[in-house]
Amino acid sequence: MAIDLPGVGLTQTGLTRNNRVNNEQNNTAATGSGASAQPSVSPSNSDTVNISETAMAIQNAINNHANDPEVNNDRVAALKSAIDSGEYKVDADRVAKGMIDFEALFS
C-alpha cells in the first residue's frame, strides 16, 4: 500500500537531509574551525551489562541441548505403528486437562 503525500517524497526527504549536511559543512568551513560538524563522543569505561539469572539459565539450557536431536525418531516410529494398528487410544480427559492447564498459563 502506497501513501502519497503532496510535496513529500523520498527524493525530497533525501535532498533536505543532504542540504542540511552541506549547510553544516559550509558553516564549519566559514568559521575557519577545523573541527568536524559531528559532535565528539568520548567512550566511557564505566559501561556495564548485567545478565539476569533467568537469561543465564535460558542460555545454559540452549547450550546444554544444542546437540540434541529435535525429533525422537524411535518415539515417532512407535506412535506411527500404534496408530496404524489401531492400538493408540486418545485419552480425551488428559487432552482437555492439558489444554486447560496451558490456557491457565496466560490468564
The residue type of 68 is D
**Torsions phi, psi for 77 (to 5 deg):** -65, -40
| Set of cell numbers at residue 39 | 559532535
Residue 107: which pLDDT band, with cuts at 50, 70 and 90? Answer: confident
d(C-alpha 68, C-alpha 24), whole Å: 57
Domain positions in the chain are 71-107
Quick count: other Cβ atoms within 10 Å of Cβ 74? 8
Scan for cell 527524493, then name that residue. Answer: 11
The predicted-structure confidence for 25-72, as pLDDT tens digits, reads as follows: 555 555 555 555 566 666 667 888 888 999 999 999 999 988 888 899
Which pLDDT value is given to residue 66?
Answer: 86
Which has the higher per-residue pLDDT, 10 or 52? Answer: 52
Residue 31 and residue 70: Cα distance in Å, rounded?
65
